[in-house]
Chains A and B, each alone.
Chain A
């Protein structure tokens, strides 16, 4: 299934105000892979996600999703393949009821009403939120909002899930539920997060960004054990790995 490949080649991006956010990012993510993107604040994580979702076009270099090269003309096609989950569910959920929001994507992709209904119900079932379908979004808890915003994206049946800080503002139980849920997905996943423990659980591979460049790209386990590398990039060894070492030391 070669069409789920994400391929970035020497991507540069400079914001209109002159800030150089990305300077020469290249990587390739193959079908079914889960990749964590970590880095200090301002390292370029969000900008990178916006490139992949086709919101910003690179000032130099190319982004390729499957066979399609990202450009103004192909943005629409690219967006069908990529499910983008925003950091703040209040941005993502914009319709007055949960069901209408989840049905929004499929409806606008021009699916038949029957298919729209089916996929919306299926997506809500998948995230365990079917019971909430007639609720207005402002009556949901943060965890529920997050689940619904994921449902509204997977209802469109994307090839690749791109998530910006999916575990932010969640209480420990909701966070755990989210992780379990994401484990059940077999989409390619790109997760940008500061929650390194979650990245460690969900992603085999991690890309560390620092000042708009790739500081490291490798298996999560390996990168997260390298204390020096982590510290250089404003990160800290995940608690679960620290605890492991303590146990060994005893």
Chain B
């Protein structure tokens, strides 16, 4: 359970990153959110066997990581942690789809492997883009953007409270884990029974806290609807950022730059 400490600190690190001050961090959260969503839609919309046409899209995460001065190793590690999900989604493709599509020298590559590769690439691109969004935009900023983009209030409020209390909750859990560890000398892991008890206790504490929070909200006039102050300003720079990237994504979707470049080089050699 020692990893609990580091998981908690990792969460804090991602959050800390979002409060840096770079060109990317300063862009209006709405613009970043829309660009990220646009990016994800474009990536997902490619046909099943797309591999080479996806590669050029890596320019976006790479550029963002560079401009926002994000630690690459840290982000890759995060990607790796969630990667099993993507692998499981794609892992059966090579067995089901055995039609040979590409001959690469002595190797025959089946459609299944290509679509598997495509799934992995898409995973890296989309989850990477989402991670970058979180690392470059403060969470309250994202909530504010969602709110302004007319996402239902209920969801936004859920996210806001989630962000506010996930740190309080994890810290409470962390204290419990530490207290247990200090008095359980040899046994490294709690047994199932103990674990269930701890989770139950944490749940009860959370319930009590929720009651106190509700009280605090009531005593400040909460009547079922959360109102927030609007404090975002959409500038020309944000508009430029938004339109530039959306245009680029559209171009990459309908023309394959690597193929265009390849053709160009090919033609040059032919002449």
Contact = CB atoms under 8 A, between A and B. Distances in A.
A190 to B, nearest CB: 14
A113 B230 CA distance: 10
The prevalent SS among residues of A at the interface is helix
Contact of A108 (B164, B212, B223): B223
B232 to A, nearest CB: 12
B219 A84 contact: yes
Contacts of B140: 96-97, 100, 136
Is chain B's interface secondary structure helix, strand, loop, or mixed overall? helix
Contact of B220 (A97, A104, A137): A104
Interface string A81-102: 0101010101111111101100
Contact of A138 (B168, B212, B221, B223): B168
A206 to B, nearest CB: 25
B229 A116 contact: yes
A54 B218 CA distance: 10
A107 B209 CA distance: 24
Nearest to A104: B220
A98 B42 CA distance: 37
A152 interface: yes
A96 B216 contact: no
B89 interface: no
Contacts of A90: 165, 168, 209
A117 B229 contact: yes
B167 interface: yes
Nearest to A86: B216
A109 B218 CA distance: 11
Given A136-B138, A137-B164, A94 B229 contact: no
B246 to A, nearest CB: 28
Given A94-B213, A137-B164, A152 B219 contact: no
A166 interface: no
A24 B168 CA distance: 38
Contacts of A88: 212
B143 A91 contact: no
A104 B222 CA distance: 9
B227 interface: yes
Given A96-B160, A105-B221, 8 more contacts: A79-B220, A86-B216, A94-B217, A100-B228, A104-B222, A107-B228, A117-B229, A136-B15
